[in-house]
Amino acid sequence: MATEPGADEVAIDVPTHFRIFKSGRIERLHRPPLLPAGLDEATGVASKDVVLDAGTGLSVRIYLPKKKIQEEPSKKKLPVLVYFHGGGFLNESAVSATYHNYLNPLAAAAGVIVVSVEYRLVPEHPLPAAYEDSWAALQWASSARDAWIAELGDVARIFLAGDSAGGNIVHNILMTRASGIEGAILFHPWFGGSKVVDGERESNVELTAKLWPYVCPGAVGGADDPRMNPLAPDAPPLEKLGCARMLVCAASEDQLYARDRDYYVALAASAWRGTAAWLESEGEDHIFFLERPLCDSAKQLMDRVVAFIAGA
Please tell me the distance from the alpha carbon of residue 282 to that of residue 272, in angstroms, as a whole number: 28
Mean pLDDT, the chain, whole residue set:
94
Q: Is the per-residue pLDDT at 72 higher than 90?
A: no
Residue 205 has pLDDT above 50, yes or no: yes
DSSP strand pairing (78-84 vs 153-163): parallel
Strand partners, 79: 154
- Note the pLDDT of residue 152: 96
Per the CB < 8 A criterion, the answer to whether 223 and 194 are in contact is yes
Question: Closest by alpha carbon to 168, among 249, 84, 280?
Answer: 84
Model confidence pLDDT, tens digit, residues 294-310: 999 999 999 999 999 99
Between 174 and 76, where is the model more confident? 174
Q: Are 148 and 113 in contact, with CB atoms under 8 Å apart?
A: yes
Residue 256: C-alpha distances to residues 165, 193, 198, 200, 218 (Å): 11, 11, 12, 7, 24
Q: Are 95 and 87 in contact (CB under 8 A)?
A: no
Domains of the chain with CATH codes: 32-65+76-310 (3.40.50.1820)
Query: How far is residue 109 from each of residues 44, 115, 213, measured CA to CA in Å?
Result: 11, 15, 39
Is 272 in contact with 241 (CB distance < 8 Å)?
yes
R_g of the chain computed on alpha carbons = 19
Residue 99 pLDDT grade (very low, low, confident, very high; cuts 50, 70, 90): very high
Q: How, if at all, do strands 153-163 and 181-187 pair?
A: parallel
When pLDDT is cut at 50, 70 and 90, the band that residue 291 belongs to is very high
User: Which positions are catalytic?
Assistant: 164
pTM listed for this prediction: 0.94
Q: How far apart are CA 270 and CA 151, in angstroms?
A: 38
Angle of the 97-110 helix axis to the 296-310 helix axis, nearest 10: 50
Q: How confident is the model at residue 4 (pLDDT cuts 50, 70, 90)?
A: low
What single letter denotes the amino acid at residue 133?
A: D
∠ CA 154-160-163, nearest 5°, is: 145
Q: Please tell me the predicted confidence (pLDDT) of residue 15.
A: 79
What is the average pLDDT across 62-89? Answer: 91
Q: Which residues pair with 68 in a beta bridge?
A: none
For residue 6, what pLDDT band results from cuts at 50, 70 and 90? low
Please compute the mean of the pLDDT values over residues 283-289 and round it to a whole number: 98
Task: State how far the alpha carbon of 33 is from the alpha carbons of 161, 225, 283, in Å.
Answer: 22, 34, 28
pLDDT at site 238: 98
Per residue in 214-273, pLDDT (tens digit) is 899 988 889 999 999 999 999 999 999 999 999 999 999 999 999 999 999 999 999 999
